[in-house]
Amino acid sequence: MTMAGSNTQVRFVTELRRQLALYGRLMRLDRPIGIWLLLWPTLWALWIASAGQPEPQLFIVFVLGTIVMRSAGCVINDLADRKFDAHVERTQNRPLATGEVAPAEALVLFVALSLLAIALLLTLNTLTRWLAVGAAGLTIIYPFTKRFFAAPQLILGAAFGWSVPMAFAAQTGEIPRLAWLMWLTVVVWAVIYDTLYAMADREADQRIGVRSTALLFGSADLFCIGLLQLILLLALLLVGEAAELGAWYLGSVGITAALLLQQRLSIRDRDPQKCFQAFLANRHVGATIFAGILLDYTFSLA
C-alpha cells in the first residue's frame, strides 16, 4: 500500500469514527437517563406480569427494544426541535442544532432504528405488535405537541408508560386492569420528572414558544409537583395491593417517598441546575421500585 493510500484509509477511519460519535450523541447514547426512565417501568411490568419469572427471550427483546426506541425518539425529537435547540443553552450543541448532522441523515437514522424495532417486534405475539403501533405513534407525535399542547408531558408519559401494557401482552397474552393502573402510574411519574426537566429550561421555552407543564403550572409549580408526588405514591401502593406484593415492595415505596421528598426540597428555590439534577435523580426512583418488586418475588419464590 502506498503512503497516499495509507493516509486516505486513516482519514476514512477517523471520519467514520467522528460520524458514528455524532450519531451516538444524536441518539443520546452518551446520556442514558432516558433509557433508564424507559427501562425501569418495562422491568416492573415484566416481573409483575410473570409473577417474578419473566421469559428470558422477552427480557432480552424488551431491553433491546427500550434502547432502540429511546434512541429513535431522541432522533425524531431533535429533528423536530433543531431550530428551537439552537436557542437554548443546554441543547445548542446537539448535532442537528449545530449542523454537524444533516436532517436527511437524521431521518435515515430514524428509519434504520425503526426497522430494527420492527425486527424485534416480529418475535412477539400479535397483540403486542398492535400495541407497538400506538407506541410508535406517541413517539412520533410527542415532539410536535410541544408547539400547541399546554401539557406535552402527558404525551411523553403515555409514550414512556406504553411498554407496560406491551410487557403484559407479551408475557400473558392479555392486558389486565393492573397493567393500565401501572401505565397511569408511569404517566404521573413522567409528568413529575419531565416538569422538573422543563423547569430547567423554563425561561428559554417561554422565549421561543415551547409549551410545558412548567409554564402551565406557573408559580404553583412546587405545589403541583408535591401533589403529583403524593398521587404517585398512592398509585404505587395500589399497584402493590393489586399485584399482591409484600413487605419488600412496601419498603421500596417508603424509600421512594424519601427520594421524592429530597427532590422536592432541592428545587424549592427553582434553581435550573438543581431542577435538572432532580430530574436525573428519578433513575434512582425507578431502580428502587424495581428492587422492591425483584426482592419480593425472589423471596416469595424461595
SS (H, E, C) 250-289: HHHHHHHHHHHHHHHHHCCCCCHHHHHHHHHCHHHHHHHH
Per-residue pLDDT reduced to its tens digit, 39-98: 999 999 999 999 999 999 999 999 999 999 999 999 998 888 888 877 777 788 888 888
Q: How confident is the model at residue 204 (pLDDT cuts 50, 70, 90)?
A: confident
Which fold is adopted by the domain 22-301? Tetracycline Repressor; domain 2 (1.10.357)
Per-residue pLDDT reduced to its tens digit, 90-135: 788 888 888 888 889 999 999 999 999 999 999 999 999 999 999 8
The answer to whether 43 and 283 have CB atoms below 8 angstroms apart is no
Considering the entire predicted model, what is its pTM?
0.91
